[in-house]
Amino acid sequence: MNRKINRMVCNLLPLLTILAFLAAAPWATAQDVDPTTDAQNTLDHFSPPMGWNSYTGYSIAVTEQELIKNIDVLSEKLLPFGYDTVTVDNGWFLSGKGDGITMNLDAYGRPDSHEHFFPNGLKHTIDYAHSKNVKFGIWLLRGINRRAVEQNLPVEGTKYRMKDIVDIKSICPWAIAPWWNYGVDMTKPGAQEYYDGLVKKYADMGVDFIKFDDIVPNPDEVEAVVKAIKKCGHPIVLSLSPGNEINVEHSDAYKMADMVRITSDIWDNSGSLKTTFERWEAMQDYKGPATGSFLDMDMVCFGRLYVTVNGGRDCKFTDDQKRTFMIQRALAASPLMLGGVLYSMDDFSMSLFKNPDILKCNQNGVIGKLAHRVGKIDVWKTSEHGNPESGWIGIFNRDGKAGETIELSIKELGLKAGRKVILKNLWTGKLLPVLDRQRFSIPSDGVAFLRYDPVGKSDGRAK
């Protein structure tokens, strides 16, 4: 089934409950559209993926039981708002402790779940998610497991073996333990077939989403995975990670995927807010959304975090920092991949996840741009489906120590000078007076979130 149709059908029923505030749009993946043609012009627009990932909540030790509990919460409380995917991150294939840790592999060197974390096998959890109308994703590391190379296991369906295609000089800089991987030499016969078999294995299990790590700096292997997904016979969303070595020269490869990380791991601290602003600014001209590929600012690290490490801890963000975190992602059209433990998530965080204005801005699918900067105040703006008459504005106070009151002209808000517009404060729901200059009081690390429309627009916002 075409990914556009598949996503639309899967999401139709839950979306009916929120059509009053969330703009419905056909979902499609980057692999569906050839960027060299005008095929994308037949679609309304693309929307960033939405879901939940296990990493910030559980590190590399989430169990089958915990995944199922989070699947239940997502299905019951968040699926109606568009969050449709649960992804198990790193560690689902590991077993043992200390120096005895190893990766569970099949006969062709590909990761398998271990009964330590999945007593019923990963397929059981995948099927459970699907029974709840939730899609299921997995984390994979680029390349070939080192033990598979040492044993020179075969490449399924070919005469080649792992030593024929491995690049032992290509090693993930942070995955240096002996159970991790070498890269693949994509110039060698059998290399593409290796990735074809890898992807097909999980597609046949019903995997709907793959987060590929350590692959952003390797565009040839990105292309190999994209080719494998096209062949596998099952729609799969492709997420590229991590983003600490993003290279704009590789944008053609990035646009083949549905989402590409532009940051290193993001956590609940002011440094991560700063990093996200910097990488967003560097990549604000990325053209990927035209083909369904979005800049990924990493997971939303709210709620209870790292519960498998000394009992975990609560997110350290203030409410204002949480607002800033979410509005960054709304205006940048970043995929909304929630983290933290869903079944104990605090009410304020949940209210942001379900906020209709945040969701509509995010699912608008247009990357916002920096419109104005004065001191520690940033003004970012995005238009609604590329129409400059309507859209959203975020006024961010990037001072982590003090609030600020500032006056901004219509031009400084990123709008045409002299233009009469209706501005709506989306935190309070109130319309602002029609003035040439507006005054805003913004707390430390906080944000004013506005909707703009032309005066006279007959949509209930202005007359």
Beta bridge partners of 183: 167
| Range scoring the smallest mean pLDDT among 32-41, 101-110, 178-187, 422-431 | 32-41
CATH number, domain 3-363: 3.20.20.70
pLDDT of 115 higher than 90: yes
Question: Which has the closest alpha carbon to 239: 62, 40, 89, 78?
Answer: 89
- CB atoms under 10 Å from CB of 302, counted, come to 26
pLDDT above 70 coverage of the chain, percent: 89
Beta bridge partners of 211: 139, 239
Tokens of 62: 């989430």
- pLDDT of 428 reads 97
Mean pLDDT over the full length of the chain: 89
**Where in the chain are the domains?**
3-363, 369-454
Strands (E), 249-335: 259-261, 294-296, 304-305, 313-314
pLDDT band per the 50, 70, 90 thresholds, residue 22:
very low
- pLDDT of 458 reads 46
Tokens of 239: 């997420």
Q: For residues 408 and 372, is the Cβ–Cβ distance under 8 A?
A: yes
Buried b (16+ CB within 10 A) or exposed e, 275-301: bbbebbeebeebebbbbbbbbbbbbbb
Is 369-454 a CATH 3.40.50.2000 domain?
no
pTM: 0.89
pLDDT of 16 higher than 80: no
